Each structure stands twice: as structure tokens, then as C-alpha cells.
Structure 1
Amino acid sequence: MDTRQLEYFVAVAEELNFTRAAGRLYAVQSTVSAGIRALEKDLGATLFARSTKQVALTPAGEVLLPEARAALEAVDRVRSAAAMSSAGIRGRLRVGIFSNLDVIDLPAVLGEFHAVHPLVDLQLGASAAGSTGFADDVRRGRLDVAFMGLPDRDLAGLEVLPLVTTPFVVVLPPGHPFASRPTLTMRVLAGERFVDTPAGFGNRIVIERAFAEAGITRTVSTQVSDLGEVPRFVAADLGIAVVPSLALPRAGAAGVDGGVVVVPLVDPDVDWQLSVVSRPTPSPAVSALLALFSRHLGAA
């Protein structure tokens, strides 16, 4: 058994597809298949049930998966420790980021990180599934660190570094009947058409739970994959929106900005938390980046 075979196994187990696993590992599919067969022979157990239509883990594969992940993480820590003793932190750091994230100057933070740790290869990317996709990617080892808009109760098994908590605000077209009100509640908004992000995004999960717990059904008529773009669709009179106030950095608590009216939502216990998450046993590179985030936010 070698670590490459374990990498093949974990990739196939997470993708449940040999072709996608090979692409993820920049390997040839036949090499991945041969590595899995060699691992199964070494262990004396079949790890995958294969058919022409699907790949599934066997009971033995289910048992092996968390152990294989732990073994690979341990090997990474050994390599990182050896590298640090001679040349500083090195390796790869995969970070899931939001676009239009103004609460922290991400280019400046990552620039400072690179200046201190030039041997770390930074890879940044977004997720079409929002925070839900990021959480899954971190759990499965596809990402090392990710920004997150999910509540803590949805982040079991992850290390969470809270960055900031912000209230929700209601975004309205200027001619809307509620545009002149000083505050609004969820109950008043029942029956409105909403512009929102897709279902997996953290801000939508939080606000939809709040509406459901209040016994209110709402209709999302327009979905926008970029939270920062929601006000533009509200301005086009496609509906109203309830978003974290951080999505409107120029508007403040209330007022007119960019062709929309922003009114505070005053229902209690309806807040959005922006966090950074990682796995419970972070690498030295992850620990260094999290420490840098903490320092910048502390200064802010």
C-alpha cells in the first residue's frame, strides 16, 4: 500500500466516478483503476461495487474512507513539518471565496500571506452551490479553507472561525408601498415576490428557516447566483429581497442606494454570520492563513 493508492481511493469514493476522480488527480483513468485494484488486493476486500451505470462504496469501503482520509492528512502534516524545518511552509492551499466580499480585504490578506509564505501555492475558487457546496468541499478534502454563510448548526465536523455577524435588511424598489416605512417585519412581507440567491446559499438558508419558523410561506420568483447583484434585480422591479446588510456596504442601516430602498428587518434573532471553516486538523498553511484572518479582523 502507498499513499497514492489511498488518494485514488478517496477521490473515487467522493466522486463515485472513475473518470471524474482521474481528472481531479490529473491521472489517467487506467492508472486510477489499477491503483484501486492493487489496494483491494492488498487489503483482501472489495471497496467498490461497480456496474456499467454506477459506482458505489461497499461496506468495507465505507469503513475505510474516514481512515484513508485521516492517513492522508497525517502524511501531509509530516511533509509540512519537514518542509517547515528547512524552508518554511510549502504546499497547496485551496480557498473557497465569495465574490463581492467587502468585510475583509481578501487580496491584501492573501498578498501578505504570499509575502510571508512564498512557497505555498494559492488556489481560489467560488461555488455554484454557495456555502452548502463549500462545506461539502471542505469535508471531502476538495478545499482546505472556505468562507461560509451557514449557521454553526450546519457546520458539524468543521472548525469554525467567526468573522462577523450582521442583521438582515429588506431591499425594495423605490415605488414600493413599504419603501417609506422606517422598519419592516417578516410578517408584513408575506405575499411578496422575492429575489434571492439559489437554495444552497447560506443567506437564503438562514432567512428561509426564519420565515418557516414564523409560519410564513414566501415565493422566490427570481434567483441570482451572486448575492451582491441582488439589488440590481430588485431595482428592475422583479421583486423585493431580504439580504444581509453586508451585501449593501454603501447603504448603511437604511436609505436609498443604487436605485433601491433599504429598510431594516427588525424580527429578533434573524442574523447572518460570515465565517471561515477548515477541517479539524488543519495543515500549517491553513493555520497560518486563519491566524492572519484573525489578526486583520481584530485590527478592523
Structure 2
Amino acid sequence: MELQQLRYVLAVAEKRNFTRAAEQCFVVQSALSHQIKALEQELGVPLFARTSRRVELTDAGAAFLPAARASLEAAERAAADAAATVGQIRGPLTIGVIPTVTAIDIPAALGEFHRAHPAVSIALRNGGSDELVTAIRAGEVDIAVLGLPDATTPHRVRFIELARERLVAVLAADHRLSGRRRLRLRDLADETFADFPAGTQGRAQSDRAFDAAELRREVTFESMSTDLILDLVKQGLAVALLPPAFVPSNPNLVQVPVSDGPTRVEYLAWSDFDPAPAAVAFLDALHSQMASNRLKSQPIPMRPSSWESDAQARTLSRR
């Protein structure tokens, strides 16, 4: 059994097509088919059921996939660990980001990191904070930027607090409240809102603030896209509560502070189990970027032996 055979099996399982799997693996279809057939003969079971029109995993194939995937990941990690001993950082790195990252300049950090470590393959994964924390714990994401309501912290992952900020009301320029210098939640309670989907942490921070004020509000429009939320506000269809850094300079939009509005805390989170060299190197790059931006920060702990428990999470900056 060879690693390349495992790669071919995973590609066919993903594409459900030998031709597209061969294209993904940059090999001719006949070579890929031959290698999979040889593996099936070695195992003594068919991994795929083939017809002229479709390819499906057999029960044996479905049982084979998890260990095959883990074997490839272990081989990649072994190569990355060996290279790291001589200062070469390589291997995959998956970074999770919420729709409203404000504390870190992700593109700038990626640019700096890629120039320093071009052998690292980087994948970005968008999602809500809960989804990304689950992915970190499952080993599917190495590092993620999260946004949570005040007094809520990530569970069962390592993390540091990056920043905290009070959300602002975002209104259309011709909205009746757009001329106010400051608002309270009760001023907005009768408005139609655009917000993140119910059940997400991006939504929870505003829901909790209204509940604490014993106010009800109507959320008519739900979206994970801040661009869409802002477009709805521009059209006068709704108002929103968003981080101030995400409100663009636009003559059709106005942001107004809300004195009792929700507070959002942004965290950097990563795996608490044997992080890969690429993940450790990226944490180092993030700290360098923040230090160069003159944030009043403490160093991000770079080695597993110095990482703190969740209860001892340290603050990089407060805004």
C-alpha cells in the first residue's frame, strides 16, 4: 500500500468520477485506475462500485476512507516535523475566519507568512464562531479568529483575547434617527433589523443585549454576509448592529454609538493538541504583525509547554 494510492482513493471518493479525480491528481486516468485496482486486489475487497455512468463507494470503501485520510495526514505531519528541525516550515495550514474580523489584518498576515514560508499550503475557511471552534477541536482548522458576546469564551481550545468593542447602530442616511449623536437600545426596539442567523454567536451578542434591557425586536433579514446586511440598510429596509470597523465610509450609511449596545469580544483560537509547525509559525507571524502595528500586546505563547489553560487566557489588546 502506497501513499499515492491513498491519495487517488480519496480523490475518487470526493469527485465520484475517475476522470475528474485524475485531473485533480495531475495523472492520466489509466494510471489512477490501475493503482486503485492494484490496491483493491491487495486489500481483497472492492472500494468502489463502478458503472458506465457513476462511481460510488462500497461499504468497504466507506470504512477505508477515515484511516486512509488519517494516514495521509500523519505522513504529511511527519514530513513537516522533520523539516521544522532544520528551520523549514511546510505542510497544510487551515485558518478559520468569521465574517467580521477587525482585530487582525488577515490578508497582510497571510502575505507576510507566505513570503516567509512559501512551502506552506494555506486554506481559508469561513464560518460562525461555534462552527469554527468545533472544527478546531476536530482537527479540521488550525487557527481561527472568533467573535463572541461579552462574558462568553471559547471552550476546549487555546485562545487569547484580541480586542473588545461595542457595536454601533448602522442606519440609512435618511433614517429618522441618523442625526442622533447617541442612541439607546429602546430607541431601536421598534425598528426592523438585519442580523446574522439565529443561533450564531454573531447574532447572540445583540439578542442578549435586548434581552438584558427587557426589550423585544424584530429581525426580518438574516444573513452571514455583512455586505448583504449593509446593502439592506442602504435600501432603508432595516437597521443593523455591527462592529464600527465594518461600516464603510458611504454617504448612504450612518453609524451611531449605542450607549447600552452589545459588546463583542474577538479571540484568536487554536488547537490545544500538538499544533503543527505551520500553525506555530503563523501564530508567530501574527504576533509580529501586531507588534509592528504598535498594539499594546503581550507575546503569544509559541510552544505547547508554555501555553496557558482557557481560564488563564491572556489579553493582547483591549479597545
TM-score bracket, normalised by the shorter chain, equals: 0.5 to 0.7
2:232 maps to 1:239: no
Counterpart in the other structure of 2:284 = 291
- Find the aligned partners of 2:156 and 2:3 in 1 and give their Cα distance: 24
Tell me the percent identity.
29
The alignment status of 1:140 with 2:122, answered yes or no, reads: no
What is the match of residue 158 of structure 1? Answer: 157
Which residue pairs with 1:223 in the alignment?
223
Q: Which has the larger radius of gyration?
A: 2
Q: TM-score, normalised by structure 1?
A: 0.64
Aligned residues of 2:198 and 2:204 also touching (Cα < 8 A): yes
Cα 1:274–1:236 change in 2 (3 A) is: farther
Unaligned runs of 5+ in 1: 8-24, 26-68, 251-255
The alpha-carbon deviation at position 244 of structure 1 amounts to 1.8
Secondary structure in 2 aligned to 1:149? strand
Structure 2, gaps ≥5 residues long: 8-24, 26-68, 291-296, 299-316
Q: Is the 8 A contact 1:169 1:243 kept in 2?
A: yes
Q: Name 1:171's counterpart in structure 2.
A: 170
What is the deviation of 1:236? 0.6
Alignment of 1:197 with 2:196, yes or no, is: yes
Question: What amino acid is aligned across from residue 141 of structure 1 in structure 2?
Answer: G
RMSD: 5.0
Q: CA deviation at 1:193?
A: 0.9
Q: 1:194 to 1:178 in 2, by over 3 A?
A: same
Distance 2:75 2:253 in 1: 54
Contact kept in structure 2, 1:133 and 1:200, CA below 8 Å: no
CA deviation string 1:14-48 (max 9, x = no partner): xxxxxxxxxxx9xxxxxxxxxxxxxxxxxxxxxxx
Change (3 A) 1:188 1:71: farther
Shift of the 278–265 alpha-carbon distance from structure 1 to 2, 3 Å rule, reads: farther
CA distance change for structure 1 residues 264 and 120 in 2, over 3 Å: closer, same or farther? Answer: farther
Q: Where in structure 2 are the equivalents of 1:267-278 lying within 5 Å?
A: 267=261, 270-278=263-271
Q: 1:224 to 1:88 in 2, by over 3 A?
A: closer
Superposed CA deviations along residues 163-211 of structure 1, whole A, max 9, x for unmatched, are 22111111122333332252323x3322321011233543212222332
**Within 5 Å, which residues of 2 pair with 1:33-72?**
none
Q: Secondary structure at the match of 1:93?
A: strand
Secondary structure of residue in 1 paired with 2:284: helix
Q: SS at the partner of 2:204?
A: helix
Separation in structure 1 between the aligned mates of residue 251 and residue 275 of structure 2, nearest angstrom: 41
SS of the equivalent of 1:204 reads: helix
What letter matches 1:291 in structure 2? Answer: D
CA distance in 2, matches of 1:275, 1:257: 33
Shift of 1:107: 2.5
Q: TM-score, normalised by structure 2?
A: 0.61
Residue 44 of structure 1 is matched in structure 2 by: none
